[in-house]
Amino acid sequence: MDTLAIISAILTLTAGIGVFLVACQMMSSNLESASSKRLKRMFNQASKGGGSGWLQRWLGVGIGTVGTAAIQSSGAVTVMVIGFVNVGIMSLTQAAAVIYGSNIGTTVTAQLVALGMFGANSISTNLIFAAFAGIGAFMMLFGKTDGWKMTGGIITGFGLLFVGLNMMSHSMTDFAALEGVRLFLASIQNPFLLVVVGAVLTAIIQSSSVMTSVAITMVVAGLIALDQGIYLTMGSNIGSCVVAILAGWTSGTNAKRTAMIHLLFNTMGVVIFMLIAWGMWLVTKGSMSFSTLFADFFPHAPQVQLAMFHTVFNVCTMLVAMPLTNGLVNISCRLIKDKPKVAEPDAPHFYFLDEQMLRTPVVAVRQLKAEIENMSLLAITNFRRAIKIVTTLDYTEIEDFRKTEKELNFLNRELVRYSVLLSGKQLNDYDHQYLVSTIRTVSDLERIGDYAENIVEYADSLQKQDAQFSGYALKEIWHMEELINALYEATMQAYHKLDLSALGRANQIEDDIDQLTDEMERNHIQRLALDICNPQVGTEYISLAQNAERIADHFINVAKTIRDLIPNAQYNQ
């Protein structure tokens, strides 16, 4: 009978954990989509500034706390921070502050679990909250707009959280009825062993929220004492670092250091509280402990006692760590040395994106846009270099030109791949439409680089012929360059801000470029007739004008993408 009861309880516990994890994922993905605008703004703030001041640190803590509470996933926030550090847009000090906050934000789940375990003698809050799963499911099924469906997904996830909790509670009640199980668990009293068990179990299921919730249900069911639950919860904080370690160790040096800071921070908190517990035991000769303190503050509510300890533990650890942040950063730098420079330090790479950011799609979309805007800067820079080379036959920047052309080819290939991966994530209407336009935009920017390459080839031809453009031709080429620079500025303003007035200016400039192209061709023929220009350079000059006009066409294509995005612009930052 005991064997069957144990098997039944284990299966129920496994099912409950599964439902709980699915609920967390459902809440996380829908909350990300629903709060995308705020998340983008928050993490944009987190990545600004030098990050050395106290105000910046407190801002990071606040962002980490609110961000984690909003999407119910400290792992996703931490992995995203590692991605920011890996591409160099967030410092280690800024990352540390956000990680401190994410640990506080993750305590919200434990508080929800504790709230759901009241009302044992009437209709419990657990049952009431679990009913939200059905309400949300109806909203998802019959909702006509994405907003309703996302809200339904959030409510469904919230309800399923308590369905899973209810199943875990029943399994713990079944375990509590088994004398052998109670005696075995009661025998595990060593605090260090309990911390290790909590860390290992959290590392396996990769969710400190689940581990803390299981500990709360065990304490409520009487399977373990509050002290045991406290040490299991402390261990779960160390185990939660596994997600960050896995993400960091597949990335760059600073990403590894970020994961190390996370591990040092959480381990430091556990060590400090273990020392405090040991000190209380010595001073009071065993009459005082964390369990007695929290039992006095929150009598007759073991679920609240453990949930509140979890919150106090993380807040106090953050307060201790704040003045020690520079020290933690220095230790992580000493433990993880800079790699020796590779043979090709200037290999093409992302400037704002990282694979780990795919864990948080709404932020990944924002970073994708920053990467594309940077690609456009690379494209216009190479155009300017090409014009300088063809008008002066000065090749001092040719290596920079070739390097940038390789970067444009790399970005064309890798941004399309990244966009395809990102399109498989749950996104709101704006982000989905933006990804649809991304592939065309990236292709347009890569083609600008190709036309700039053609212009350099015309310079090569001039050099071989020992020829050059006339002064009249050079003035027209420089005028064309001015117009394309103006078109680039208007295009980027339209693209970045979804600015229709900037799009109007871009269209006007593009018309001017078309007219100038025609004038350049007519003027060149007239100069040939008057024997002002060298006939040998005629082909290169006309081809240059046509290539410049095509560059303008590709820039205006980029600007015009905003017309499809503006109807959903309320989702944009």
Q: Domains of the chain: which residue ranges?
A: 2-335, 355-571
pLDDT band at residue 161 using 50, 70 and 90 as cut-offs: confident
Contact 360, 76 (CB under 8 A): yes
d(CA 470, CA 477) in angstroms, rounded, equals 11
pLDDT at position 123: 52
pLDDT at position 417: 92
Burial label for 131, CB within 10 Å (0-12, 13-18, 19+), is middle
d(CA 449, CA 383) in angstroms, rounded, equals 7
d(CA 573, CA 313) in angstroms, rounded, equals 35
pLDDT band at residue 50 using 50, 70 and 90 as cut-offs: very low
Which tens digits make up the pLDDT trace of 525-556? 887 777 666 666 777 888 999 999 999 999 99
pLDDT above 70 for 53? no
Mean pLDDT of 425-442: 86
d(CA 265, CA 244) in angstroms, rounded, equals 13
Which tens digits make up the pLDDT trace of 293-321? 998 888 888 889 999 999 999 999 999 99
Give the C-alpha distances (Å, rounded to integers) separating 284 from 160, 272, 423: 44, 18, 59
Q: DSSP per residue over 461-477, as a string?
A: HHHHHT----HHHHHHH
Top CATH class of 355-571 equals mainly alpha
pLDDT at position 174: 72
Q: How many CA atoms lie within 13 A of 557 on its CB side?
A: 19
Contact 196, 172 (CB under 8 A): no
Q: DSSP per residue over 164-190, as a string?
A: HHHHHHHHHHHHHT-HHHHHHHHT---
DSSP 88: T
d(CA 100, CA 80) in angstroms, rounded, equals 14
pTM above 0.75, yes or no: no
Any idea which of 18-27, 189-198, 289-298, 508-517 has the lowest mean pLDDT? 18-27
pLDDT at position 35: 58
Where does 106-207 have alpha helices with state H? 107-115, 125-130, 132-142, 146-176, 179-186, 191-205
d(CA 268, CA 74) in angstroms, rounded, equals 18
pLDDT at position 124: 60
pLDDT band at residue 46 using 50, 70 and 90 as cut-offs: low
Q: 15, 16, 6, 12: which is closest to 213 by C-alpha?
A: 16
pLDDT at position 301: 85
Q: 209, 240, 224: which is closest to 71 by C-alpha?
A: 209
- Mean pLDDT over all residues of the chain? 83
pLDDT at position 233: 92
Q: Please list, residue by residue across 234-273, b when 16 or more beta carbons sit within 10 angstroms of its beta carbon and e when fewer do.
A: bbbbbbbbbbbbbbbeebbebbbbbbbbbbbbbeebbeeb
pLDDT at position 34: 60
Residue 149 three-state SS = helix
CB atoms inside a 10 Å sphere around CB 156: 23
pLDDT at position 39: 61
pLDDT at position 556: 96
d(CA 48, CA 258) in angstroms, rounded, equals 17
Mean pLDDT of 215-221: 86
Mean pLDDT of 476-499: 94
pLDDT band at residue 118 using 50, 70 and 90 as cut-offs: low
pLDDT at position 27: 72
pLDDT above 60 for 347? yes
Any idea which of 36-45, 150-159, 461-470 has the lowest mean pLDDT? 36-45
Tokens representing 526 are 């007239």
Q: 115, 105, 114, 113: which is closest to 314 by C-alpha?
A: 105
pLDDT at position 1: 45
Mean pLDDT of 203-226: 84
pLDDT above 60 for 572? no
Q: 509, 491, 487: which is closest to 499 by C-alpha?
A: 491
pLDDT band at residue 571 using 50, 70 and 90 as cut-offs: very low
pLDDT at position 374: 94
pLDDT at position 51: 44
pLDDT above 70 for 179? yes
Residue type, 306: L
Q: Quick one: CA torsion of 342, 344, 347, 353, rounded to 10 degrees?
A: 10
